[in-house]
Structure 1
Amino acid sequence: MTLLSDRRIAFLSNRGKGLKEAIPDIFSNDHHGYYFQHMMQNFNDQCAGKYAAPFKKLLGKILQRIAYAATEQEYQDAMMAMELNSADAKEWVLRNDVDH
């Protein structure tokens, strides 16, 4: 079996160096996404000390809604919820490759 077939492939990664550029070069019609657990860990690490624990937990739940949105409307609603709770956290999301 060859990887270069008619079947669509979805790649999931932890944003390792080179993958973001290499996957589209080789598999231009396929999707590359990031592991949500890795994104959540990055969010927690980068926001350490910035938010109180209960509020950080709320933002994490909203981040999960954003990541798992199945429709454009669900995505927009979740992004609005993030902005209403923390414009700073919404900016973090936008800086972290929302297309993936």
Structure 2
Amino acid sequence: MARIVYRYGDGTTRAVERATPASVMRAAVEAGIPGIVGECGGQTMCATCHVYVADGYLDRLPDIGDDEEEMLGCTASPRDEVRSRLSCQIVVGSGLDEIEVEVPETQI
């Protein structure tokens, strides 16, 4: 079982547990998590699933690909050079069993 914790600027959190692998974006959309839009459906084309990954999880993630790098330059909230990722590119449930991310104030 994979667990994703979504944190908000006001201190609230929402947690989602998944029995099957899914991207952090897909899990958020399916669970109705506010602030994760995912307009492109996970095709790395919109940056509306931008998140800030908690420090303890950064070393567990794959490297940022060229498409993700390009889209991170288009985020509505400021990019953090270390913690910013597109949640459509982070898959939980196959090698990564938990992650904590902060949802930016705005996506669009």
Same fold (TM over 0.5): no
Q: Which has the higher helix share?
A: 1
TM-score (norm 2): 0.27
More relative contact order, 1 or 2 (CA 8 Å, 6+ apart)? 2
Higher strand share: 2
Bigger CA radius of gyration: 1
